[in-house]
Structure 1
Amino acid sequence: MNIPPQPPVGLGTAEARRRLRSCGPNVLPQDRPHSPLALLVDALREPMLALLATAAGLYWLLGDAAEAAVLGGSVALVVANTVYQAGKTQRALAALRELSSPQARVLRDGRATVCDARELVPEDVILLGPGDRVPADAVLIESAGLRVDESLLSGESVAAEKHSAETTNAAADAGTLSAARVFAGTLVVAGQALARVDATGAATSVGRIGAALRDIAPERTPMQREIDRAVVLFAALGLAFCTLVTLAYVGSGRGGWLDALLAGLTLAIANIPEEFPVVLTLFLALGAWRLAAVQVLVRRPPAIETLGAISVLCVDKTGTLTQNRMRIAALATPTQAWRAAGPDQRPPALFGDLLRYAAWASEETPVDPMETAIAEARGAAVAEALRHLRAYPLDRSLLAASHAWLRPDGSRFIASKGAPEAVAELCRLSAAARETLFAEVAAAAAQGLRLLAVARAEIAPAAMLPESPRELRFAFCGWLGFVDPLRTGVTAAIAAATAAGIRIVMITGDHPATAASIAAAAGLPAAEVTTGAQLATFDDDQLAACLRRCQVFARIAADQKLRLVRALRSQSHVVAMTGDGVNDGPALKAAHVGIAMGRRGTDVAREAAQIVLLDDNFVSVVNGIRLGRQIYANIRRALRYILAVHVPVVAMAVLPLLLGGPLVLSPVHIVFLELVIDPACTLVFERQPARSDPLALPPRPAGQRLIGRRLLVASLLEGAAATLGAALVYLWAWSRGADAATVAALAFTAIVAGNLALLAFNRNESGLRGALRADNAAFWIIAAAALTMLGLGLYLPALAAFFRFAPPPPAWTLAALALPTVLVALSRARREPVGPAAAAARR
């Protein structure tokens, strides 16, 4: 004898409290937040900041309050930005916790009640309905027409159908998106269910993603590592200069050891390129502002540097390439067929009956994306006042949803929609008709469409409503084809990225056929699609081989996305990852550049990413890469100039000591030079336009250093040319018997001229024509201001006395201006290699 199962009664209140004490609340673990003092200490561990802070302190001890204030302000600016960003690192886990429902409907002591979702424990029985956010992972006990939007976990754009199953069988699928289980954070779009909780808090699928996010340590960018190396180099050089100047000062008999030590410290600190962190901070801050203008929000400014080196861009299909919004793209009746010619084309009026019956087979207030698309396509065409009589939700035995309606004239009917094979069963189609229908379904699926078939059945006036739609014979109305359309401009953006040498890899949780269709429409090679099931069988070598030939991956789980990103990184690629779901979080954080969707993206995705697209437009990714390359190129130009311009300053401070001649540089002169160098770095180079479209060149090599050997040698050679010009002017004036004030005035003029020449030739690598090009007003303003100030300092008696200059003859001044300029121009006149690789290296 079969004994009917007893209805679930849930846990008792006392037992639930006991389990809550044992298992803990249904929330994700939260790391202890760092105190502001701890964040400040961490920020000051940056080597360049520590060096600048030390330099600021020494300037203060030496009595140079102005320079100490400038350096201190730079340190404060960088530290404030670092502390602000570090204070937001815990938001990803906070966003994960917000995905849980604040309240849950649960059976306690045999009664339905509402409790705080944080109080749920394993073995609780929860009730689910349309619009509910699932509060914990659970096994279905009973379900009726349950459909759940799992896109934030699976990437699948269509709601998943769920069916109850034996607990033991369902539990075996724990950790997978089983049809017999529901998962925390997902959204119920249709149907009802009872489910038994089997995982809460950190043990849920969302919790495991949170754990993966915590385990991924953020890496320092190549630029940050480069600056760390530069600090060690320049600290060593500063110590060497200090020693050299101190010994030379004492050896020349100009003063005692204390004066010599102070002179050495002053020169060493003055020639540490403290502009480096200032330039990087301002360039990245202004770059973030420029990127925001093209709808790209930069959450972590160092990511801007990495944008220009991206060689592989992993994109999520749903919500990134596509709109994550279903649209009817095809309709068919037994006599007519229609296919949309464009994204804005509405179905013809002759398909009105098909759309009406499809709408009557849907929920009155649709939540499911397909039902929403039906309602939008139907529009306001239905004016009949129908009364809803009964719903027949889909179940495992019949994958079709049906609704019974009463017309104003008293007649009744049932509208049904669902899987084509289920509707064919309701209509009792002949074998030939079934074969024709299934052939149409296969052809549409190959084009990336999802199909729902529609049927209707009249109910006899005196008949009772049937207990099951199977009791009636339905008439086949036709089918509807749905597509998740590409975003506008995606195809062109992918073509531009491909032309720029960036490989696009599509990673989605969607069906392989759909993924292949979308990839082909977007312009990606879709002949080969690798599924998550195949990926699970690959070892590391097989995966590496697959990544070299395949660009489309379907049915990919969250941990597999992370594995793909790490595999690409292991092949020395600079990897960017776009995404919008919770399941994208770990991969976004593990990529060199994580790019989240701002509008449709989850908080988890946005907080895990370094960059957020404010308009959810893939085209903005390409625009961001273009600007990122330009910003990086301008940073390299500025650093090359900074390194070069310090060479003549150091040399002309040491040369008089070695030769026993008149001194050239004093603190006031160095301050004047800084008034030229600092604005040049922060204004001229930041505003310098690109010579050509940055996307016309391939990505820079992954191993290319910000201050590589080529840039360092070129900077030293250009600086040597400016030094030679200043030294020749100095020696010539000294040899002609000029007094010390005139020698100093001419040598300083030569240093300023070399400075401006270095600025002109480094802002544009096109030689003399590029140096004179009127494409950057800031350069001409700074050059004019520097020359005007120099002229006043030479020939205005009060200022000349302040600078300890004697006015030299105008012809000598012109010669002092011309000689370093010519020598710098000659140092840049050497022929440079051509070709894409050389062009990329020059950037």
Structure 2
Amino acid sequence: MFHELNRKNPRFLFQWNRFRQFHASCSIGPRSQCFFTNFFTPPSQSEQIFLLYENASGIFISYACVPRRNHVIFFVRRGGLRRSIKTPFILSWSWAMAKPMGQATLSYEVSNCRMPPIDLARFTGISTAEAQSRFIRDGPNELPLRENRGIIGIILDVIREPMFLLLVGAGSVYFILGDFGEGALLLSFVLVIICITVYQERKTERALEALRNLSSPRALVIRDGQLVRIAGRDVVRGDLLFTSEGDRIAADALLLASTNLSVDESLLTGESVPVRKLPTEGKTGGRRPGGDDQPWLYSGTLVVQGQGVAEVVSTGMYTRMGEIGKTLQNVDHEETRLHTETAHIVRSIAFIGLFLFLIVVIVYGMTRGDWLHGLLAGITLAMAILPEEFPVVLTVFLALGAWRLSKINVLSRHVPALEALGATSVLCTDKTGTLTVNRMTVAKCVVAGSSFDCLAEAGRPLPEPFHELLEYAILSCKKDPFDPMEQALLKTGTDDRSFTEHLHEDWELLIEYPLSRELLAMSNVWWSRKWDKYIIAAKGAPEAIFDLCHLGEREISVLTTRVEDLASQGLRVLAVAKSHFRPGQLPDGQHEFPFTYLGLIGFADPVRSDAAAAIHDCRTAGVRVAMITGDYPATAQNIARQIGFPDSEMVLTGSDLEKLPMNERDAKIHSTSVFARVVPEQKLQIVESLKAGGEIVAMTGDGVNDAPALKAAHIGIAMGGRGTDVAREASSLVLLDDNFASIVAGIRMGRRIYANLKKAMAYIISVHVPIAGISLIPVLFGWPLILLPVQIVFLELIIDPACSIVFEAEQEEPDIMRKPPRDPDEHILDRRTVAIALTQGFVVLGIVLLIYLYGMMRGLTADELRTLSFVTIVVANIALIFTNRSWTESIVSISRKPNKAFWLVTTGTVFFLAAVLFLPGLRSLFQFAPVSPGYLLFCIVGGMLTVGWFELYKITHARIRKAESS
């Protein structure tokens, strides 16, 4: 049997000895068994591969099998267990641990290049009874459910809102008047408000649910001396977690033993580079995510390399993940200023309308003795003043704005955030993946006295002097690596055609020596058939490699200076060494190999090509950008320098921030643009400090750690590509391409939305002034009524699409990104806007009254006067829409800018006007009368002249601004 397995081969003897050591270390019970196979050549279909197992009585053949095309099927008789194990054919083994028949069986695949795993026999864990007791006392390992309001409760809260009551009241008035279309439209917006509120409530619940799912994975624990796989929610304090590559950690734990353990903590730190973990050995240090060689493991993080045994110290809400969930639960979205201001405007105008309604009814009834027509006149005035367009415009603008944002890869989850987006004064962004491409890349290679800049020389083949350095750096990696730096090394080698001869696909990986607390370096031992010897490749921290190579003090001093220079450029630096060894018994430690130093390799996460231009656009627009990262200060500083951050030399670290007193801390936050080594709570502190200082804050993030800050910011922006579900649920916007430039485009779009919304609201005021005036003045002066309800409905058909579609589709002003962010205390209807709107409205009212009086002087009938006044108002409406498309450009310039919605509204209005003027049935319904073409031309010219003064104002204002700027 052993002859068939080439037992005398020294490589087999080495592996078999390793296997025996491995079996001794992993035996977890008196009757446990290990199963093992080994072969050195690809077996043919006729060959048999033997499955061996060892117990106290010796080594036995359990079964023989025939290999399949790309895997071997082993049949194990004991307990009827059947396993299909897929492994490489050359130089590989597979093993499994089986408990006595009737108990669950755990199966693993372990490559022969691994070091013997952790000695589990020395760990017994807590008893099942003790675990149950602690579960009852501490509760499940999950985030507790918050008591949520039902849909009925949410609806009742909405009903008490003034905006809701006004909309219902306005809709009821229209129903009483028989205008069921307008009434139904207003009530439909009631449903929109309810849906938005329900959506907001459910969004918080989904964020917490995502946290619960993430923080409660399956867990492998040691209880009663046995490995048991349980639900993550059943993990309790004191449990011993056994973690290996690919596992998500179920609870916060303290590492007791490990083999080459690395963990991806990007959920908590935002940094994609895994961190190395080492056992506690009595030194626990600060319990904070991020940084190498810490003994703490955190719930929800991912093991990317190695194995470990850790004791659970916190579960559920007491984990770091739970603390974030608690913070997220307590942070609420604020009501936007625009909604508050719009509600105030609607209330004010509604009260004015109610007051004027009563005056008109009383005056008309008392002066003319006709209370029924007085009521009709009052209703007409109320309809003219009723501000139903404001909530309509706000809803339509924000909805269409969200659609436009999606076209530039910004997905809106919280529509009111669009208001704040255009007012953003501080943009807090993380570094990795937003300003950088989130892909570790070989940046520099250093050999002896020369270096090669791989980024600057991208596309150029690696010079020959650097081939050996990269060759052994790749040999020190796994064949299919998880580690980002190992992936970068492999990509550099495979992308360079001149380097393919150094990849050694035919070499066989025998064993790897992992990192340890004592030596921060790892080595791979390879077997070369051609050279008939072991080749050893090592990489690690420069000081560790210097130690392995036994370099002299002078040489170490020179190389250390070089390492510091690379680190100051924001690079992560590894040193590389090589060695060889004749076949035989390999040593237990790396120090026993005669290593030769080869050189240094610097890694970087390259800056996005458009990041610098986007930062410049932000500065031009008066938006301060703050980079908040969990990375090292030197790395953050280098990235800031590359993309043109102001004051990039000044970096504030999380530890420095923690030491500052409250008053100094706020001042420092407001004057700093680069923050490094920042933890989740500090991100939230930074956002809240900026908000307290009056800033409108936008915050980007991708991990669980960012969720509270995302939700607390005025605009939370989550990453769509690499972001977590928790971050996306807590955010207002989702960046679909994870690109910083898209955020700047979003700010531009936000400013456009707000500017166009201001124009639309100003237009609403200006057009309602003449309608209200014409409804009120005839009553006060005893003239015949000019406008009737049906005519006001016609005007609403112009006003509604004009203010909600035409202005929304208007392009931004040319200088929109050269203006500073608007004052957060600025009203959308500020004094200048209201003054312009009222002036426009009163000018139109004056022209209409002049034409009305002219017609009275010419002895026209009431229906003829009504016709002339109505035509003038409609033409003036079209002119107002045209001139208000831009408050800085003339009508001539505006006409060159495309706006299909304007021409559609204008064309439709002209056709409707022609129909009511020239079709007898409609003309009678509107109580109009035929008039001569001369009168119609007179009204058209008068309506167009109403905006002449505003065109002169724009020209004069532009000249003044130009003179001031020069």
Structure 1: any 5+ residue segments left out of the alignment?
none
Aligned equivalents of 2:959, 2:276: Cα separation in 1: 52
1:830 aligns with 2:953: yes
Determine which of 308, 313, 321 is the counterpart of 1:193. Answer: 308
Q: Identify the residue that residue 110 of structure 2 maps to in structure 1.
A: none
5 Å matches for 1:381-420?
Answer: 381=501, 382-409=503-530, 410-420=532-542
* 1:611-641 deviation digits (Å, cap 9, x = unpaired): 1110111110111111111111111110000
Paired residues of 1:140 and 1:163 also in contact (CA < 8 A): yes
5 Å matches for 1:277-676?
Answer: 277-334=391-448, 336-342=450-456, 344-345=458-459, 348=462, 350=464, 351-379=466-494, 381=501, 382-409=503-530, 410-462=532-584, 464-525=585-646, 526-676=648-798
Q: CA distance change for structure 1 residues 724 and 836 in 2, over 3 Å: closer, same or farther?
A: closer
Paired residues of 2:540 and 2:574 also in contact (CA < 8 A): yes
Q: CA distance change for structure 1 residues 705 and 96 in 2, over 3 Å: closer, same or farther?
A: same
Structure 1 runs, 4 residues or longer, greater than 6 Å off: 835-839
Aligned equivalents of 1:335, 1:108: Cα separation in 2: 56
Any idea what SS the aligned residue of 2:588 has? Answer: coil
Instruction: Point out which structure has higher relative CO (alpha carbons under 8 A, 6+ apart).
Output: 1
Paired residues of 2:670 and 2:690 also in contact (CA < 8 A): no
Paired residues of 1:420 and 1:453 also in contact (CA < 8 A): yes
* 1:30-64 deviation digits (Å, cap 9, x = unpaired): 22344333333344444323311221123213332
1:783 aligns with 2:898: no
Q: Identify the residue that residue 936 of structure 2 maps to in structure 1.
A: 813
Given the two structures, how large is their TM-score scaled by the length of structure 2?
A: 0.83
Aligned equivalents of 1:420, 1:574: Cα separation in 2: 44
Aligned equivalents of 1:109, 1:252: Cα separation in 2: 98
Aligned equivalents of 1:215, 1:699: Cα separation in 2: 29
Aligned equivalents of 1:835, 1:367: Cα separation in 2: 60
Paired residues of 1:761 and 1:770 also in contact (CA < 8 A): no
* 1:635-662 deviation digits (Å, cap 9, x = unpaired): 1110000111111111111111111111
Paired residues of 2:203 and 2:730 also in contact (CA < 8 A): no
Aligned equivalents of 1:522, 1:407: Cα separation in 2: 46
Shift, 1:320, TM fit: 1.5
Any idea what SS the aligned residue of 1:388 has? Answer: strand
Q: CA distance change for structure 1 residues 175 and 777 in 2, over 3 Å: closer, same or farther?
A: closer
Shift, 1:253, TM fit: 2.2
1:329 aligned partner, one-letter code: A
2:246 aligned partner, one-letter code: G
2:548 aligned partner, one-letter code: L
Paired residues of 1:574 and 1:702 also in contact (CA < 8 A): yes
Aligned equivalents of 2:156, 2:939: Cα separation in 1: 48
* 1:500-552 deviation digits (Å, cap 9, x = unpaired): 11111111111111110011011113111111111111223212332343211
* 1:200-250 deviation digits (Å, cap 9, x = unpaired): 111111111111111111101121111121122122112112112211221
Aligned equivalents of 1:413, 1:758: Cα separation in 2: 83
Of the structure 1 ranges 691-700 and 263-272, higher mean CA displacement relative to structure 2 is found in 263-272
Of the structure 1 ranges 126-135 and 379-388, higher mean CA displacement relative to structure 2 is found in 379-388
Paired residues of 1:273 and 1:643 also in contact (CA < 8 A): no
Shift, 1:82, TM fit: 4.3
Q: CA distance change for structure 1 residues 813 and 318 in 2, over 3 Å: closer, same or farther?
A: same
Of the structure 1 ranges 318-327 and 513-522, higher mean CA displacement relative to structure 2 is found in 318-327
Paired residues of 2:215 and 2:321 also in contact (CA < 8 A): no
Aligned equivalents of 2:946, 2:932: Cα separation in 1: 22
1:801 aligns with 2:924: yes
Q: Identify the residue that residue 163 of structure 1 maps to in structure 2.
A: 278
Paired residues of 2:125 and 2:224 also in contact (CA < 8 A): yes
Q: CA distance change for structure 1 residues 802 and 670 in 2, over 3 Å: closer, same or farther?
A: same
Paired residues of 1:662 and 1:743 also in contact (CA < 8 A): no
Paired residues of 2:350 and 2:387 also in contact (CA < 8 A): no
Aligned equivalents of 1:341, 1:422: Cα separation in 2: 27
Paired residues of 1:756 and 1:783 also in contact (CA < 8 A): yes
| Structure whose CA Rg is larger | 2
Paired residues of 1:275 and 1:642 also in contact (CA < 8 A): yes
2:404 aligned partner, one-letter code: R
Aligned equivalents of 1:759, 1:446: Cα separation in 2: 58
Q: CA distance change for structure 1 residues 361 and 75 in 2, over 3 Å: closer, same or farther?
A: same
Q: Identify the residue that residue 173 of structure 1 maps to in structure 2.
A: 286
Aligned equivalents of 1:46, 1:640: Cα separation in 2: 25
- Aligned residues: CA RMSD: 2.4
Structure 2: any 5+ residue segments left out of the alignment?
1-118, 495-499
Q: CA distance change for structure 1 residues 832 and 220 in 2, over 3 Å: closer, same or farther?
A: farther
Q: CA distance change for structure 1 residues 838 and 57 in 2, over 3 Å: closer, same or farther?
A: farther
Shift, 1:152, TM fit: 2.1
Paired residues of 1:104 and 1:135 also in contact (CA < 8 A): yes
Shift, 1:750, TM fit: 2.0
1:706 aligns with 2:821: no
Q: Identify the residue that residue 31 of structure 1 maps to in structure 2.
A: 146
Q: CA distance change for structure 1 residues 101 and 467 in 2, over 3 Å: closer, same or farther?
A: farther
2:645 aligned partner, one-letter code: L
Any idea what SS the aligned residue of 2:429 has? Answer: strand
